[in-house]
Amino acid sequence: MTSETLQPQQSWDADRYQSQHSFVWQYGAALIDLLNPQPGEHILDLGCGTGQLTNTLAETGATVSGIDANANMINAAQRQYPQLSFAVADACNFQVDYPVDSIFSNAVLHWVKPPERAVQAVARALNPGGKFVAEFGGKGNVQKIVGAVETVRQQGNLSPWYFPSISEYAQLLERHGLEVTFVALIDRPTPLDDGDRGLANWLKMFGSQLLAGLSPNDTETVLRRVEAHLRPQMYDGHQWTADYRRLRVVAVKQTH
Ligand code: BEZ
C-alpha cells in the first residue's frame, strides 16, 4: 500500500474518538450487511479509524486491510488488532498491490477533497466487477449545527465538509466507471454521548475547523451560544441529538 504524505487539517485524538464517539462504528454495522462480505474475499476498509469495523469485516472470514490518513488512528488500530494489516494512506491517492474485491468506507468521505480523486483511487483499486460500499454525510448533513455556528460567528461558508446530493455523487461514480446499484439519502438523527456536554464535545472532536481562529476563551463563548441556539431543537434535557443525514451507496466497477 502506498500513498503521498498527507497533512490533515483536522486533528484527531484517537483515545477520545474511541471513548466518546463509538456511535461512528456502531452505526457502521448496518453498512456491513449491505456489503455482505464473503469468506476469502479481499476487502479494503477506506478510512478505517481505530479499526473496529475492519475487525468486524475480518471476522466474516474475508481478508481485510485498513487504511487511514491519520497515523494516531492507525497506531491505535494496529495495537488493538495486531493480527490485521493497517497502513497510513490518503484516500485521494492510495494504491493497492493487487486489486481488491470490495472497498468499504464508513463516515469518512465527507472529509476527503477533492472527491474526484478519491473516486478515481477507488476505481483504480477495484477488480472489474468489484463493489464499492460507502456511507458518509449527504446533502443537508449537520446543517443546523453548521448554521448555528455560522450565525453565532456571523460568518458564512465555514463548513469544511463535502456533503453531496444523490445525483451529484451518482454522476461522479458513473464518470469513473462505477455503476450505481443502490443509493439513498437517509435522515439519521444521532444521539450524542455525554449529556449536556454532548454538542460541545462533538464540535471539539469533529468541528474544529468551524471553530478555527478562536482563542480558547472565545471558543467557549461560541460553544455556549451555539448550545443556546440549538437547545430548543436538539436537547431533550438529557441528551443532544445531531441532525445527521447519510448518503449510502453501492456501486460496481464496470468490466469494460
Ligand atoms: C458525519 O459522520 O456525518 C460527520 C462527522 C463529523 C463531522 C461531520 C459529519
Give the mutation target among 190, 202, 206, 241 for probing the ligand 1 site: most ligand atoms within 8 A of CB: 206
- 37, three cell numbers: 462480505
Q: Is residue 167 part of a domain?
A: yes
| Amino acid present at 250 | V
Q: Is residue 35 part of a domain?
A: yes
b/e map of 237-253 (b: 16 or more CB within 10 Å)? eeebbbbbbbbbbbbbb
142 touches ligand 1 (CB under 6 Å): yes
Q: Is residue 176 part of a domain?
A: yes
The string of pLDDT tens digits covering residues 145-202 is 999 999 999 999 999 999 999 999 999 999 999 999 999 999 999 999 999 999 999 9
Q: What range defines the domain where residue 27 resides?
A: 14-142+161-192+243-253
Say how far apart CA 146 and CA 130 lie, in whole Å.
Answer: 36
Say how far apart CA 225 and CA 219 lie, in whole Å.
Answer: 10
Say how far apart CA 137 and CA 165 lie, in whole Å.
Answer: 10
How many domains in the chain? Answer: 1
CATH number of domain containing 82? 3.40.50.150
Helix/strand/coil (H/E/C) assignment for every residue in 59-85:
CCCCEEEEEECCHHHHHHHHHHCCCCE
Q: Is the dihedral of CA 25, 183, 6, 160 positive or negative?
A: negative
For the chain, the average pLDDT equals: 93
Q: Is residue 199 part of a domain?
A: no
Q: Is residue 81 part of a domain?
A: yes
Of all protein residues, whose CA lies closest to atom 7 belonging to ligand 1?
206
The reported pLDDT for the residue numbered 13 is 73
Q: Which residues have a Cβ under 8 Å from the Cβ of 32 and sit 6 or more positions away? A: 53, 56, 57, 60, 104
Q: Is residue 68 part of a domain?
A: yes
Query: CA-CA distances (angstroms) from residue 152 to 155, 182, 215, 241?
Result: 8, 38, 15, 19
Q: Is residue 75 part of a domain?
A: yes
- Between 36 and 1, residue with greater pLDDT: 36
The string of pLDDT tens digits covering residues 15-40 is 776 666 666 667 888 899 999 999 99
Strand 42-46 and strand 63-68: pairing? parallel
The reported pLDDT for the residue numbered 127 is 97
Q: Is residue 217 part of a domain?
A: no
Percent of the chain with pLDDT over 70: 91
- 194, three cell numbers: 455525554
Q: Model confidence at 1, in pLDDT bands (50, 70, 90)?
A: very low
Q: Is the dihedral of CA 53, 13, 162, 153 positive or negative?
A: positive
137 touches ligand 1 (CB under 6 Å): yes
Give the mutation target among 112, 244, 247 for probing the ligand 1 site: most ligand atoms within 8 A of CB: 244
